[in-house]
Chains A and B, each alone.
Chain A
Amino acid sequence: MKVAYWPGCVSRGFTPELHGAMEKVAPLLGIELVELDRANCCGAGVLSEHNMELADTLNARTFALAQQVEGAELMMNICSTCQGAQSECQERLDANREYREHVNSTLAEEGLRYEKGIVNKNFLWVLVEEIGLDRLRSLVKRPLSNLRVGPFYGCYIVRPRPRLGIDAEHPRDRYLEQVIEALGGTVIDYAGARKCCGFPIVTMNKEVSLRQAGSHVGEALDLEADCLVTPCPLCHLNLDLQQPLAETVVGRELGLPVLHLPQLVGLALGLSPKELGLGRHVVRPQAVIDWSTAVVAGAPA
């Protein structure tokens, strides 16, 4: 399937391994990525705080560019925060025609126009709803046997439920667990999975921010997790990049690897840790790398 692909800013900035891993994994899943290289920052909730109409107009521009990609079935992102921030703007744009026309009049200068009803899905949703868990299972080359994985969603992709289309038919706030199991891994059920990583206030109140990150990581460690997996690069910054500092705040040693979702999928589909950029994390995912080589060594030829 062909998708209009929005990688976001952070996946090309401080978490380049995420964008890299997605590009490696996509062909294995039969996803053709048409990168929206003209599209702009989603605003991450901060731009809409600055000026709501500005954020709505900038995201309408991204949607309009995605709608121009010929043959694309939908728009796909790889960032929970992009998903949430863009869904919030889309909710307003789609709800009110007068407002949409007002925003479109600003876009008209560039010859762009947003038509109501774009389908914008995070990679996690694409995995479950478009590719399907059965097909995913059939593609697994290196099942995540004995790998204990804690899901970490990020707030923007699970709340509020109606805006993100979460209902009995689409339990999108349970998809990470479903994917981990489909890949052959063991799910760690811990309270932090749908809580806040603290990243949005890391410049405002660093101690409280890192206390949030540190306590979720600590809790997963207590339940003997080998790693966490997240569809949000901003969560990854607080959980991985800042983890050594979070250790100081919560007063205990941590050292739990945090994987981006495409990295975990890539490992199961047989890609090497190096191809997936696992060596680029601040917390070296040694346990996961060792596990992957052990599985390969033990696999029948």
Chain B
Amino acid sequence: MAQFTLRVRRYDPNSPTGPYWQEQTVELEEHRSVLEGLLQIKALYDGSLAVRCSCRSAICGSCGVRINGEPGLACKTHLNEARAFSEAIGKGGVIEVEPLGNMPVIKDLVVDMDAVHWKKINRVTPWLIGRQPVPQREYIVPREAMLDVTQTMACIQCGACVSDCLAMEADPEFIGPAALAKAYRFVGDPRDDRREERVRELAEDPHGIFECTHCFKCVQACPKEVNPMGQIIRLRRIASADLGIVDQNNGVRHEQAFATLVKEHGLLHEAELLPRSYGGDSWFGKFHPAAGRELLSSLRVIVKAILRGKVNPLRAIIPHRLATADRKAVQRIFDHVDGKKSPHREQRYELNLFVVGEDEPQESQEQTEVTR
């Protein structure tokens, strides 16, 4: 048995005191979970503590909380690990437990999942819309085609990713990681009949796939390795490469201009990327009214940057670029991997470590020996 101190954020809507911290030491074996710590507080010291839980084995997704500032499942976090993490971040080994973020708190550690999480999930039509005509018997789908969506199917709707989404923190209307991962689950399903409509809607929505900032919060938060940000990126890739959508948020234009400019120069040419993201992916992009409007709205900072010698106007015309031989090498890679004419490019090669796993280190050693 060992002792652990839990510092729990309490809140009772019927009390005038507002939120407060409560510390309690519990006695449990090292490998027990934070949830078991909370339940011991509830059972032995303070029955008024509200915490939601059910399966206690990381399947039901009920006990999402923030532990030492990081979202996760209370039942999947060991007490000794939580204490070590608390020590590492300078909190002296005291395990801090708070309700999930980005959602209203109902009481103590229980948040209103309906108000945020489920509302957003419902926004993406979270069910299969079968391809017509419906087959006489079952839909026949190759196994490989379904592998692609197994990662998102691992989601247990715990809300850990929603809790810490930084885009949602800045804009509560952002559809968010859990719902967008759910959307990919159907976009990637070969039986679904509304692939294009689904993607188009999420691309054109100002709070859709192009509002994700790549902050990796959801990747780290997810207790089931769903990698919501990775699914958002796949939705963007489908919008751009497969469906040729040019959205009103500049998302696809930005990505295509980025690729074009790196192919051309080997390095990124920022001064050209900005106008093209607004005006279109060509040299003429900067003369598009949308690029002009953007230039005008940023004129203040652009002038300042030029006056300070931060941005060299000459560089905007003659960019920093690689030497000819290296530019050619980069262009060859683009043509080989990304070229439309490339014969072996019918399918994109997307290595998903969730699906294939890592090589066994022993296996690769054996293989090397065999080759020798």
Contacts and interface: CB of A to CB of B under 8 A. Distances in A.
A99 B359 CA distance: 11
B332 A110 contact: yes
B5 interface: no
Contacts of A106: 333, 336-337
Chain B interface, DSSP helix/strand/loop, else mixed: helix
Interface string B284-321: 00000000000001101100110011111001000110
Given A95-B353, A205-B249, A212 B213 contact: yes
Contacts of A281: 308, 310
A228 to B, nearest CB: 17
Interface string B172-213: 001000000000000000000000000000000010001111
A44 B170 contact: no
Interface stretch (B28-36, B42-50, B130-138, B234-242): B234-242
A298 interface: no
Interface in A25-81: 37-38, 40-41, 43-54, 56-58, 61
Contact of A53 (B305, B326, B337): B337
A204 B254 contact: yes
B71 interface: no
Given A40-B262, A58-B333, A50 B255 contact: yes
Contact of B326 (A40, A49, A56, A204): A40
B311 to A, nearest CB: 6
A155 to B, nearest CB: 4
A50 B258 contact: yes
How many A residues are at the interface, by size bracket? Answer: 35 or more
A226 interface: no
Contacts of B351: 52-53, 56, 92, 95-96, 99
A196 B166 contact: yes
Contact of A204 (B210, B333, B349, B367): B210
Nearest to B368: A97
Interface residues of B, number: 79
Contacts of A284: 308
Interface stretch (B106-114, B151-159, B271-279): B271-279
Interface stretch (B7-15, B116-124, B139-147, B215-223): B215-223
Contact of B270 (A13, A45, A84, A196): A13
B329 A61 contact: yes
Contacts of A46: 254-255, 258-259
Interface in A140-187: 155-156, 159-161, 168, 171, 174
Nearest to A205: B211
A9 B309 contact: no
Contacts of B310: 14-17, 241, 280-282
A155 B211 contact: no
A12 B262 CA distance: 15
A211 interface: yes
Interface in B308-348: 308-312, 315, 319-320, 322-323, 326, 329-330, 332-334, 336-338, 348
Interface string B81-107: 000100011100000000000000000
B210 A201 contact: yes
Contacts of A212: 166, 170, 213
B356 interface: yes
B266 interface: yes
A242 interface: yes
A9 B323 contact: no
B66 to A, nearest CB: 13
Contacts of A110: 329, 332
A102 interface: yes
A211 B216 CA distance: 19
A198 B170 contact: yes
B9 to A, nearest CB: 15
Nearest to B334: A54
Contact of B216 (A37, A159, A201, A215): A159
A50 B266 CA distance: 16
A63 to B, nearest CB: 14
Q: Which of A16, A84, A160, A203 is packed against the most chain B CB atoms within 10 Å?
A: A203
A97 B270 contact: no
Interface in B255-270: 255-256, 258-259, 262, 266-270
A10 B236 contact: no
A53 B356 contact: no
B64 interface: no
Closest 3 CB pairs of A and B: A159-B216, A9-B268, A196-B215
Interface of B: 84, 88-90, 166-167, 169-171, 174, 206, 210-217, 219-220, 233, 236-237, 240-241, 249-251, 254-256, 258-259, 262, 266-271, 274, 277-278, 297-298, 300-301, 304-305, 308-312, 315, 319-320, 322-323, 326, 329-330, 332-334, 336-338, 348-351, 353, 356, 358-359, 364, 367
Given A14-B311, A205-B249, A244-B301, 8 more contacts: A40-B330, A43-B258, A49-B237, A168-B84, A196-B213, A204-B211, A205-B171, A208-B170
